């Protein structure tokens, strides 16, 4: 009788029971949730498991119980149309047509959570990757890279800046390929010391596994990727430490978050009362002067009509500049949307807790004239109204991938 009761209880808690012990052999990551399908641990937890104290493991297991409960409420992934692209889109990788740029250059377009990457494969110089996406997609990034690389070694990885969506794959790629990692010189010391506050991860509530940089790049430096040689230019505005890279012979520009086909990244310095709009305007002037033929942005499609994109960006900048609260409100939505893209769903109480240390969220709230609780409520409502989030009871779900 006792045994029967135990069996029934086990069956009733099948999801949680399954989650309560780590996988015995190989973990299979679910790209939709960023969790192992079997044990519901994240990549970071799996990697750190061997070195964790018993207390830390118990903490993770408690967290996994919550995940198991939440997962039983989450809807299945949106059904993408069958065909070659469907799997790629689900995993945050689009397969855009390659343009008439040198064939050694591959533009790997991702989504809003993981930035795009540019890969240059040179038979003599080896391969160079520019930016590595967000940690949730790190395994996919490595798979996609492996397809492009074939037998070619990944020799170097260059980051335009160290926001979590641009260097989240660094640690895994460094472990896999032993590649050298070059970061903007202005971020060298913070990256080396892994100061999570100054690297913005704590201030935004985002995550990024630690990696060790090997080299730094300053304006005027040149990166040799074989036949293509890239000039380093400073690119303040979105991030005061960011760089962009110009290949002058073919006039190719890796523009990071300084210029997209329609817009640019949040102007973060302004959220903290520092200058950013003026720098962004100067940046647009600089890109206009560089007159690139092809632009490979941090997010969205590559484009070859930079004049149109610059004109669009100037209009948007003028609008943000005339109303600083607008920049702040935009940032509030971006913070919450980014978390939803990462976590897929979150209980509203957990959302408050998750952003408890997010200093930049507080700064944005103040600029928008709200306290943090009102700002969070406002951002959730605004995202739901735009169809970018969906609320089911007390759980907020991600909805489509059209974040800005
Ligand atoms: Zn960025």
pLDDT, tens digit, 9 for 90 and up, residues 333-359: 999 999 999 999 999 889 988 888 888
User: What pLDDT score was predicted for residue 19?
Assistant: 40
Say how many Å lie between the CA of residue 162 and the centre of ligand 1: 7
User: In the structure, what pLDDT confidence band is assigned to residue 31 with cuts at 50, 70 and 90?
Assistant: low
- Per DSSP, helices labelled H in 29-134 are 43-48, 54-71, 84-90
Say how many Å lie between the CA of residue 129 and the centre of ligand 1: 17
Say how many Å lie between the CA of residue 26 and the centre of ligand 1: 33
Say how many Å lie between the CA of residue 256 and the centre of ligand 1: 7
User: What pLDDT score was predicted for residue 25?
Assistant: 57
Say how many Å lie between the CA of residue 378 and the centre of ligand 1: 23
pLDDT in tens, 277-288: 999 999 999 999
State mean pLDDT over 138-164: 95
Taking 80 as the threshold, does the pLDDT of residue 303 lie above it?
yes
CA angle (183 as vertex; 358, 273 as ends), nearest 5: 40
Domains 95-322 and 324-398 belong to one CATH topology: no
CA–CA distance, 362 with 375 (Å, rounded to integer)? 9
Say how many Å lie between the CA of residue 346 and the centre of ligand 1: 23
Q: Which CATH class is domain 324-398?
A: mainly alpha
Token pair recorded at residue 64: 């996994």
Is the CB of residue 231 less than 8 Å from the CB of residue 210? no
Residue 18: CB atoms within 10 A of its CB come to 14
Say how many Å lie between the CA of residue 299 and the centre of ligand 1: 10
Q: Where are the domains of the chain?
A: 2-71, 95-322, 324-398
CA–CA distance, 74 with 64 (Å, rounded to integer)? 15
Say how many Å lie between the CA of residue 183 and the centre of ligand 1: 13
Tokens 């809807």 correspond to: 75
CATH 3.60.15.10, domain 95-322, yes or no: yes
Taking 70 as the threshold, does the pLDDT of residue 403 lie above it?
no
Tell me, rounded to whole angstroms, the distance of Cα 108 from its chain centroid.
14
* Mean pLDDT of all residues belonging to the chain: 84
pLDDT in tens, 191-212: 999 999 889 888 888 899 999 9
Helix (H/G/I), strand (E/B), else coil: 348: helix
CA–CA distance, 41 with 73 (Å, rounded to integer)? 18
Residue 285: CB atoms within 10 A of its CB come to 12
Say how many Å lie between the CA of residue 4 and the centre of ligand 1: 55
CA angle (168 as vertex; 34, 387 as ends), nearest 5: 55
Say how many Å lie between the CA of residue 231 and the centre of ligand 1: 20
Say how many Å lie between the CA of residue 199 and the centre of ligand 1: 11
Say how many Å lie between the CA of residue 187 and the centre of ligand 1: 13
Nearest to 48 by CA among 79, 74, 31, 27: 27
Of 5 and 351, the structure prediction assigns the larger pLDDT to 351
User: What pLDDT score was predicted for residue 49?
Assistant: 81
Which residues are within 5 Å of ligand 1 (an ion), measured at CB? 163, 257, 265
Of 14 and 401, the structure prediction assigns the larger pLDDT to 401
Query: With b meaning 16 or more CB within 10 Å and e meaning fewer, what string describes 24-34?
Result: eeebebebbbb
pLDDT in tens, 216-252: 999 999 999 999 999 999 999 999 999 999 999 999 9
Taking 60 as the threshold, does the pLDDT of residue 63 lie above it?
yes
Say how many Å lie between the CA of residue 59 and the centre of ligand 1: 31
In this prediction, what percent of the chain has a pLDDT beyond 90? 64
pLDDT in tens, 111-123: 889 999 999 999 9
Nearest to 243 by CA among 192, 289, 187: 187
Say how many Å lie between the CA of residue 161 and the centre of ligand 1: 7
State mean pLDDT over 291-310: 96
Say how many Å lie between the CA of residue 60 and the centre of ligand 1: 29
User: What pLDDT score was predicted for residue 24?
Assistant: 55
State mean pLDDT over 134-147: 94
- Per DSSP, helices labelled H in 219-323 are 268-271, 277-290, 306-322
Helix (H/G/I), strand (E/B), else coil: 127: strand
Q: What is the pTM of this model?
A: 0.76
State mean pLDDT over 139-154: 93
Taking 70 as the threshold, does the pLDDT of residue 18 lie above it?
no
Helix (H/G/I), strand (E/B), else coil: 246: strand
Say how many Å lie between the CA of residue 30 and the centre of ligand 1: 25
Most confident of 48-52, 97-101, 299-303: 299-303
Q: Are strands 154-158 and 126-130 parallel, antiparallel or unpaired?
A: parallel
């Amino acid at each position: 009788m006792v045994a029967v009761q135990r069996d029934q209880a086990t069956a009733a808690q099948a999801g949680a029971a399954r989650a309560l012990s780590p996988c015995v052999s190989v973990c299979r990551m679910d790209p939709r949730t960023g969790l192992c399908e079997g044990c519901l641990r994240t990549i970071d937890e799996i990697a750190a498991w061997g070195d964790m104290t018993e207390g830390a493991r118990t903490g993770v297991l408690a967290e996994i119980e919550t995940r198991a409960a939440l997962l039983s409420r989450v809807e299945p992934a949106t059904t993408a149309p069958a065909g070659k692209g469907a799997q790629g889109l689900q995993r945050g990788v689009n397969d855009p047509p390659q343009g008439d740029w040198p064939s050694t250059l591959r533009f790997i377009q991702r989504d809003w959570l993981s930035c795009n990457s540019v890969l240059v494969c040179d038979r003599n110089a080896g391969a160079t990757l520019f930016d590595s996406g967000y940690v949730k997609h790190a395994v996919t990034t490595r798979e996609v890279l492996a397809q492009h690389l074939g037998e070619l070694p990944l020799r170097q990885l260059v980051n335009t800046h160290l926001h979590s969506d641009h260097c989240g794959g660094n640690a895994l790629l460094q472990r896999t390929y032993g590649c050298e990692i070059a970061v903007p010189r202005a971020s060298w010391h913070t990256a080396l010391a892994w100061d999570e506050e100054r690297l913005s991860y704590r201030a935004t509530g985002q995550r990024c596994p630690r990696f060790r940089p090997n080299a730094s790049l300053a304006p005027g430096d040149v990166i040799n990727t074989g036949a293509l040689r890239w000039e380093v230019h400073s690119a303040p505005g979105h991030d005061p430490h960011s760089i962009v890279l110009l290949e002058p012979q073919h006039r190719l520009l890796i523009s990071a978050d300084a210029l997209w086909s329609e817009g640019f990244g949040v102007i973060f310095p302004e959220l903290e009362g520092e200058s950013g709009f003026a720098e962004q305007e100067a940046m647009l002037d600089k890109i206009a002067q560089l007159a690139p033929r092809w632009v490979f942005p941090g997010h969205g499609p590559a484009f070859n009509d930079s004049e149109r994109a610059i004109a669009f960006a100037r209009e948007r900048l003028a609008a943000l500049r005339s109303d600083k609260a607008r920049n702040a409100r935009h940032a509030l939505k971006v913070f919450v949307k980014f978390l939803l893209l990462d976590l897929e769903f979150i209980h509203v109480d957990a959302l408050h807790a998750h952003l408890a240390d997010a200093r930049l969220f507080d700064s944005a709230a103040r600029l928008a004239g709200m306290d943090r609780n009102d700002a969070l409520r406002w951002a959730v409502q605004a995202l739901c109204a735009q169809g970018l989030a969906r609320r089911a009871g007390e759980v907020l779900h991600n909805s489509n991938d059209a974040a800005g």
